Amino acid sequence: MNQEDYIIELQDVNTIYEGEKTPAIYNINLYVQHGEFISVIGPNGAGKTTLLETINGILPYTSGYGSIFGKEIKKYKIEIRKDIGYIIQNFDIDPLSPFLCKDIVMTGRAGKIGLFRFASKNDWKAVWHSLGLVGMIDFAQRPIGKLSGGEFQKILFARALVQEPQLLLLDEPFSNLDLSARQNIEKILTKIYHKRKITILMVSHELRSIPKECSRIIVLDKGKIIMDGDREEILSSEIVHSLFHNGGCCHD
Amino acid sequence: MAVVVMIDIAIGLLIAPVLGATLAGFVCSTMGVFVVRMNLASIGYCMSHAAFAGAAFGVMMSIDPLISAIVFSFGTALVLGPLAEKARLESNVIIGFLFSVMIALAFIFLNLIPGQAASATALRILWGSVFAVKTNDIMLLSVLSIILVLFIAIFYKELISIMFNRKLAESVGINAKLFYFAVLFFTGFAVSLSLRLVGGLLVFALIVNPTSSAYQFFYDFKKIMIFSPIIGVISCLIGLWLSLVTDFPIGASIVIISALIFAISIVISPKRKKGICR
């Protein structure tokens, strides 16, 4: 396979936080093709969020080589981020936040529209389309702080989708959600995956929140990829069972 | 005839304070929208004391205290952002640090100023004065107002994105750091230029109060962006009138009016009534 065919390519990547000596992730070798749906699992502190932030360039890697869409992360981080949808973990929202849902969805498109340009009719069309995809059109004019956890998560999904991303990075998108909200979001995720054929990398610390569409699982532990393979192969492995309590949450 | 001339003179004398109050209210409460959202309300008094230290320095060196006040405020604005980033501390901690340094510098400069009259000039910058506003201040405030309107209109989508969440803004390719520094820089500018009128001790109230009042009414950032400066300008104009009528210090009058508006806003806020969302 040619290098250009990889959506994500990480070679011997190490990421060390400023002021620390031990890398948060190290010797990371990861190759992801277009259209793959991958789950990254591992205990708390395994480096899952660090991996996502290294991929979208928010956190600069200390050594190794990384490229997204065939472009070196360090050199083109601002450019590549325009095509990466990102949902961050445990987002607490102030109930009095002065923002309407439609405006928050539009913020996902800010990078794509570019500096010195205004949102066009087409950009707003994309906002309404994304809100429709997640079933939140009726919430467009609502204040963001007034939403429930599940509704808020759907708005964050719409925000990521309005970018029309090639790659979607999801950091524990089901955390803090009740069962029905979780199933609802999972349905949306499945719909988006089939409809848009995008590449998805989803971080999770629970085996039960791995969607059916996910075909490949990566296991991270203490900053290192300890397993990378087919869903069935990984889920039946002894190592994964020892890391997780009966398919539930992962322990350290 | 003499009465007409006197009225003309009075109106002439009033034009500068009215324009100054309107523009100071506009620039301070416009920047307030960002400052309050970024949890940097204490930046106001840090900047104003930096300006005071600058004014004391100016008097000591026999240069225009406003120029040195602007330089010190700018310096603080420029140092604050990178220092908070470098030290990996909350901006409010760095603001507290810079605040104490500026107070210390101001005391040293005041101590070095020969004669009480000169010290009084520096101190006047802390209180503010209706008739201290000069044509130059109005020109600069007008230029800053135009720059702010353009800055917000052109970069509205970037600013709203950063105000919602800095990390998410960065994740779509926005240079959040640059806009954060720009907000600090313009706040420094707004505070420095409002000093002569409102006074250093109270200028931060003009940054915080109108925005806090606007927050009581709306959930829409755009509406807060429009109404905060309107409330700021109204506070300044009523404050100016109160000062002229009662001979109260102008800064104090403006703060009392803006605080009253804030108190009334809290009482009548639709956000506290059930079933209303704006």
Q: Give pLDDT tens digits along chain A (252 positions).
A: 555 579 999 999 999 987 788 889 999 999 999 999 999 998 888 899 999 999 999 899 999 999 999 999 999 998 899 999 999 887 778 888 899 999 999 999 998 898 899 999 999 999 999 999 888 999 999 999 989 888 898 999 899 999 999 999 999 888 777 788 788 888 888 888 988 889 999 998 778 778 888 999 999 999 999 999 999 899 888 888 877 765 455 544
Which residues does A70 contact at the CB level (< 8 Å), separation at least 6? Answer: A3, A4, A6, A9
The answer to whether A68 touches A81, Cβ cutoff 8 Å, is no
The answer to whether A41 touches A19, Cβ cutoff 8 Å, is no
CB contact under 8 A, A98 and B37: yes
Numbered residues of chain A with Cβ closer than 8 Å to any chain B Cβ: 18-19, 56, 58, 78-79, 81-82, 84, 86, 88, 91, 96-100, 103-104, 106-113, 115-116, 118-119, 142-146, 159, 163
Q: Is residue B146 packed enough to be buried (19+ CB in 10 Å), middle (13-18) or exposed (0-12)?
A: exposed
Return the pLDDT at B52.
Answer: 82
Mutation target among B172, B212, B273 for the A interface, most CBs of A within 10 A? B172
Q: Find the closest chain A residue to B150 by CA distance.
A: A116
Q: What is the mean pLDDT of residues B69-76?
A: 85
Q: Which amino acid, B207? A: I
DSSP state at residue A250: B
Measured in degrees and rounded to the nearest 5, phi and psi for residue B199 equal 95, 145
Mean pLDDT lowest among A195-199, B66-70, B139-143:
B66-70
Of B88, B157, B224, the CB nearest to A119: B157
Provide, rounded to the nearest whole percent, the portion of chain B with pLDDT above 70.
92
Return the pLDDT at B91.
Answer: 77
- Considering only residues B1 and B27, tell me which one the structure prediction assigns the higher pLDDT: B27
Shortest distance between the Cα of B219 and any Cα of chain A, in A, equals 4
Taking the C-alpha atoms of residue A128 and residue B258, their distance in angstroms, rounded to an integer, is 39
Mean pLDDT, chain B, rounded, equals: 86
Return the pLDDT at B205.
Answer: 87
Say yes or no to pLDDT of B278 above 70. Answer: no
pLDDT in tens, B152-179: 999 999 999 999 998 899 999 899 989 9
ipTM over 0.90? The verdict is no
Return the pLDDT at B1.
Answer: 60
Provide, rounded to the nearest whole percent, the portion of chain B with pLDDT above 90.
40
Return the pLDDT at B6.
Answer: 65
Taking the C-alpha atoms of residue A191 and residue A202, their distance in angstroms, rounded to an integer, is 15
* CB-CB neighbors (< 8 A) of B164 in chain A: 97, 99, 104, 107, 144
Return the pLDDT at B241.
Answer: 93
* CB-CB neighbors (< 8 A) of B155 in chain A: 115
